[in-house]
Chains A and B, each alone.
Chain A
């Protein structure tokens, strides 16, 4: 049984922002609903108002320009998978979106919703963090840009204000000579909650050395984070199996310090090595080759 609320379905963005500023009482913004409707049904939430973004078509676009890709908050996982822009250059996003829930959830759930839910296991968060994404938050009369890394502050927590909506997430286009991947470990092969996930971006130079990298781990802390030590260990090196082991070891160390003595820590700091191996090798198969 879903508790009573007043339902609003504004036709324009301005009207939406008006409502969010003007409405008194608790309110929730509704996008795809796959998380919100569940929370309502479980009576974990009982807002006075629900403001639906359904009619805001400007939030459903994927655009590229000025060296940036902009994904509207209402873009569904399926739409992400169908987008030529995404398919051509962002393997890590494709691989992450493919592994969200099942087809039904991918048709309903949105990019914005995945960010706002801020689950440590949120499938899109590691790739977006790896891409250096920022979110655009708008409210009546103003807007602000916040790097995703700062926007996510903990388990289900972000810095969004009740009168704000997240309108889009954007990130710079990747230079040539980058490869990327995403790997998710679940207990089953669909409708799985990530036990551990990892997004990888490797920036190569002309000689095949790794110039730079972004390695982001999911579900091994209160929010996904970059394995900066491991990123450093790759810098300026040629990928081979020795380097792979080195990176894996330092990833395990960062997971170890992130999880502390949580009950899952013993398992996760070992299993993350397998996750890292598969994610890194998917992004760069040469990692599997012998050194030299």
Chain B
């Protein structure tokens, strides 16, 4: 198969990567770039564990052929904490007890980020809808929803980011 040169910005770094066009974006991120915070739970867009932000929107990286991400700005969970400081959403997930097994967590955090970037003061329904493509089998979602509200508060109070 002919190699495709994928040009994309990944976690803030512009990259040019030769990829096999039959690879999924998920495979490129995990295998080529070692960004294993991107998880594969089902391979068919039903669990959201492989969620990444593509041009600031959450997408399932398991349903995207790598060349389709050409020119995109991609953020994975590895791109969230800055200089060792957790993002307020990550902080809120810890504080609210929103993490159990942790396999859904990266996707959940990114789905939450996409929401809060656009809607700093979401309703309960907004929050539930924003994570409605992300499966969690451990938490019952309750503490994840609490964490996202808590993160909204942290961010609006000026990034209380201890």
Contact = CB atoms under 8 A, between A and B. Distances in A.
A101 B67 CA distance: 24
A52 B133 CA distance: 25
Given A5-B1, A5-B21, A108 B132 contact: no
B7 to A, nearest CB: 12
Interface stretch (B56-64, B80-88, B152-160): B56-64
Contacts of B21: 5-7, 50
A78 B1 CA distance: 33
B134 interface: yes
Interface in A190-213: 190-191
Contacts of A2: 22-24, 65
Contacts of B133: 101-105, 190-191
B114 interface: yes
B139 interface: no
B59 A52 contact: no
A33 B48 contact: no
Contacts of B130: 103
Contacts of B45: 34, 38, 101, 104-105, 108
Contacts of B114: 103
Interface in A135-181: none
A54 interface: yes
B124 interface: no
Interface residues on B, range: 20 to 34
Interface in B20-56: 21-24, 43-46, 48, 51, 54
B4 A37 contact: no
Interface of A: 2-7, 9, 30, 33-34, 37-38, 40-41, 50, 52, 54, 78, 101-105, 107-108, 189-191
Contacts of A40: 22
B111 interface: yes
Interface of B: 1-2, 4, 21-24, 43-46, 48, 51, 54, 57-60, 62-65, 67-68, 70, 111, 114, 129-130, 132-134
Given A3-B22, A38-B45, A33 B68 contact: yes
Given A5-B22, A78-B57, A189-B132, A103 B67 contact: no
Nearest to A4: B1
Nearest to B21: A7
Name the residue among B62, B68, B133 with the largest chain A CB count within 10 angstroms. B68
Nearest to B44: A38
Contacts of B67: 7, 9, 52, 54
A158 B28 CA distance: 34
Contacts of A107: 54, 57-59
A105 B60 contact: yes
Contacts of B44: 38, 41
A103 B68 contact: no
Given A7-B67, A54-B67, A105-B133, 6 more contacts: A7-B21, A41-B43, A41-B44, A50-B21, A104-B45, A108-B63
B132 A103 contact: yes
B132 A190 contact: yes
Contacts of A50: 21, 65
A37 B61 CA distance: 11
A265 B24 CA distance: 39
Name the residue among B4, B64, B133, B134 with the largest chain A CB count within 10 angstroms. B133
Contacts of B48: 102, 104
14 contacts: A7-B1, A7-B4, A30-B65, A33-B64, A34-B60, A34-B63, A37-B24, A37-B64, A50-B21, A52-B65, A52-B68, A103-B58, A104-B45, A104-B133
Q: Which 4 A-B pairs have the closest CB atoms?
A: A102-B133, A7-B21, A190-B132, A2-B22
A30 B2 CA distance: 18
Contacts of A38: 44-45, 63
A248 to B, nearest CB: 29
Contact of B51 (A5, A54, A104): A104
A30 B65 CA distance: 10
